[in-house]
Amino acid sequence: MITAERLALPYTDAVAAATEHLYAGVRRSVTRAEWELYAPYVARIETLKRERKAVVLAHHYQSQEIYRCVADIVGDSLTLAQAAAATPADTIVMCGVHFMAETAKLLNPAKTVLLPDLAAGCSLAESITAADVRALRAAYPGTPVVTYVNTSAAVKAESDVCCTSANAVAVVESLGARRVIFIPDQYLAAHVATKTSVEIVTWQGHCEVHERFTAAEIIELREMHPGIVVLAHPECPPGVLANADFVGSTTAMLAYVKERRPARVAMITECAMAGNLVDAFPEIEFMQPCNLCPHMRRITLPKILRALETMQPQIEIEPALAARARLAVERMTRVRRDAAPT
């Protein structure tokens, strides 16, 4: 993505030599002109990563020049949380949104965690507060609280355990409870309820990207592209999921593509997900119903470079609150993701 914020670093012979192998991995989706703007940042970021003993973690929704060129580890929220817990690096650069950076800090309180743009938020995280969780506990005494990782540290601190879309069913069933409170995503909660006998108490939260997809769009997509395989994220509305061939997390979708190799596929999620796979699977035609996450788009190469140069902005969490939130996240990382797949 070419934006006005770019600092116009020069594309030199040295930059070309250092980055040409990386361009080979994105040349189907990134033009040469775009690459000559990206490459100086990629080269400088790679140098600073070594100097700062830093690791770059990137979510599947990041753009290609980040996801395929400067990220050391890519994945869904659970993968990134587990990677953050295990990394020996001194500095973690989170190319995602605020709750992901907070999660990394919770699991690495002594490490420096950088989020290149503090305004990279999440509509789900903003849909519920710690006070809301306390009110739910009062309304359902003794009922454990399972909190989707797309929440603030303050909300996690009021929870029993966190989950992601990849391990939500496994986490719910690990509690051995007849009923659980599942917050904040209403649609993910509804999907989980179809996969377990545990009673699910929900909250009215939604993802601003996934809630915009409709069943009518999926039906029209099938009419226009006969034989297309439709993969949908469980944060989508129930009508979308009912019309999909497969429902799963971003990592589950990626596994489906790798294993099944459908000739034509639509990934009903943030459109960068499919964009990041175009070069890796040239034999597959990816149809991209394009709903972009404005928060993920806030992370750019110049901002990553600036974060590594200045070691700012850093994520800090009040220690007492962090200790409580950390327990919920650590319990999540101990639950096997594949115990009850979605």
Give yes or no: residues 131 and 214 share one domain. no
Q: Say if residues 284 and 227 touch (Cβ distance below 8 Å).
A: no
What is the spatial distance between Cα 312 and Cα 205, in angstroms, rounded to a whole number? Answer: 31
What is the spatial distance between Cα 295 and Cα 117, in angstroms, rounded to a whole number? Answer: 9
pLDDT score recorded for residue 336:
64
Give yes or no: residues 328 and 187 share one domain. yes
**Is residue 267 in some structural domain?**
yes
Band of residue 7 on the pLDDT scale cut at 50, 70, 90: low
pLDDT score recorded for residue 84:
83
pLDDT score recorded for residue 77:
80
Give yes or no: residues 229 and 279 share one domain. yes
**Is residue 170 in some structural domain?**
yes
- Which residue segment(s) compose the domain that 303 sits in? 13-121+295-310
pLDDT score recorded for residue 20:
92
Tally of domains in the chain:
3
pLDDT score recorded for residue 201:
98
Identify the CATH number of the domain in which residue 327 sits: 3.40.50.10800
Spatial strand order of the sheet with 112-114 comes to 73-75, 54-59, 91-95, 112-114
Q: Which amino acid is at 154?
A: A
| pLDDT, the chain, mean | 92
Q: Say if residues 25 and 69 touch (Cβ distance below 8 Å).
A: yes
**Is residue 114 in some structural domain?**
yes
Quickly count helices (H) and strands (E) in the chain: 15, 12
Give yes or no: residues 26 and 116 share one domain. yes
pLDDT score recorded for residue 5:
52
pLDDT of 8 over the 80 cut:
no
* Alpha-carbon distances, residue 146 vs 1, 99, 128 (angstroms): 37, 16, 13
pLDDT of 4 over the 60 cut:
no
pLDDT score recorded for residue 193:
97
Give yes or no: residues 217 and 277 share one domain. yes
The angle that helices 77-86 and 319-333 make with each other, rounded to 10 degrees, is 110
pLDDT of 341 over the 50 cut:
no
Give yes or no: residues 43 and 109 share one domain. yes
pLDDT tens-digit readout, 256-301:
999 999 999 999 999 899 988 988 899 999 987 778 899 999 999 9
Give yes or no: residues 201 and 334 share one domain. yes
pLDDT of 1 over the 90 cut:
no
Cα angle value 60/64/66 (rounded, 5°): 80
Can you give the pTM of this predicted structure?
Answer: 0.90
pLDDT score recorded for residue 339:
46
**Is residue 45 in some structural domain?**
yes
pLDDT score recorded for residue 291:
82
Give yes or no: residues 34 and 88 share one domain. yes
pLDDT tens-digit readout, 24-82:
888 888 899 999 999 999 999 999 999 999 999 999 999 999 999 999 999 988 788 78
What is the spatial distance between Cα 146 and Cα 134, in angstroms, rounded to a whole number? Answer: 13
Q: Which residues lie across from 102 on neighbouring strands?
A: none
Give yes or no: residues 18 and 117 share one domain. yes
**Is residue 7 in some structural domain?**
no
pLDDT score recorded for residue 288:
77
Give yes or no: residues 182 and 215 share one domain. no
**Is residue 8 in some structural domain?**
no
Q: Which residues fall within 8 angstroms of residue 316, CB to CB, at 6 or more apart?
A: 105
**Is residue 191 in some structural domain?**
yes
Give yes or no: residues 94 and 22 share one domain. yes
Give yes or no: residues 107 and 22 share one domain. yes
Percentage of the chain modeled with pLDDT above 90: 81
pLDDT tens-digit readout, 129-179:
999 999 999 999 999 999 999 999 999 999 999 998 889 999 999 999 999
**Is residue 253 in some structural domain?**
yes
pLDDT of 188 over the 80 cut:
yes
Q: Say if residues 12 and 44 touch (Cβ distance below 8 Å).
A: no
Cα angle value 206/113/37 (rounded, 5°): 85
Averaged pLDDT for residues 78-99: 90
pLDDT tens-digit readout, 233-243:
999 999 999 99
pLDDT score recorded for residue 119:
96
pLDDT tens-digit readout, 100-140:
999 999 989 999 999 999 999 999 999 999 999 999 999 99
